[in-house]
Amino acid sequence: MILAEHVDHVLIDQDRLQARVAELAAEISHDYAEVDDLLLVCVLKGAVMFLSDLSRHLEVPHAIDFMAISSYGASTQSSGIVRILMDLETSIMDRHVLVVEDIIDSGRTLDYITRNLGTRGPASLKICSLLDKRARRVIPIPVDYIGFEIPDEFVIGYGLDFAEFYRNLPFIGVLKPEFYADVDGHG
């Protein structure tokens, strides 16, 4: 079984992806040039590839921490009921926090995360999402850095999964319809 044969088409190829991550890192490095306690909060698992590439391009000192979130619900939509599966190891009190996420869909996950982290007294709190499916937004979220706006299609690769597979693909692609089943594709 060859993974690439499951891909209907590539939406963002590896070169475009890498070039844009480098651009975002340059922008973030510029904006945080005066900050010496930047913390990148990676939302597991989808943002792992993005975080690791972004972090390697950043020119400012920063720490990284991880948080795992689950949204209850079936299918390729999130329910809006969100809970923390794994919390940060470190305190964010008085620190500059940049949440690194793979994709914003309805906005419910990031709404929950930013409201939750906001209660912990960060010096600042911003959001960086690789992908933005703006057409599907239910809750408006102010996003500070966005890699790509994408159409309303379910995408996989570069950290994004369908039923936990395809995260390793080095590009963002769309799955062939025959590989979809009505199972939870989130995370």
Query: Which region, judged by CB under 6 A, interacts with ligand IMP, from 33-41, 50-58, 99-107, 119-127?
Result: 99-107
User: Is the separation of the CB atoms in 170 and 4 below 8 Å?
Assistant: no
Residue type, 153: E
Which listed residue (15, 36, 37, 105) is catalytic?
105
Is residue 167 near ligand IMP by the rule CB under 6 A?
no
State the burial class of residue 160 (Cβ atoms within 10 Å of its Cβ: 0-12, 13-18, 19+): buried
Q: Give 2's contacts (C-beta < 8 A, 6+ positions apart).
A: none
DSSP 87-113: --SS--TT-EEEEEEEEESSSHHHHHH
Q: Which of 7, 11, 54, 105 binds ligand IMP (CB under 6 A)?
A: 105
User: Is the separation of the CB atoms in 45 and 187 below 8 Å?
Assistant: yes
Q: Which of 106, 126, 130, 175 binds ligand IMP (CB under 6 A)?
A: 106
Q: Indicate the SS3 state at residue 53.
A: helix
Is residue 157 near ligand IMP by the rule CB under 6 A?
no
Catalytic-residue membership of 105: yes
Is residue 102 near ligand IMP by the rule CB under 6 A?
yes
Is residue 109 near ligand IMP by the rule CB under 6 A?
yes
Is residue 159 near ligand IMP by the rule CB under 6 A?
no
Contact residues toward Mg ion (CB under 5 A) are: 46, 102
Binding residues (CB under 6 A) for ligand IMP: these are 46, 71, 78, 101-109, 154-155, 160, 185-187
Catalytic residues: 105
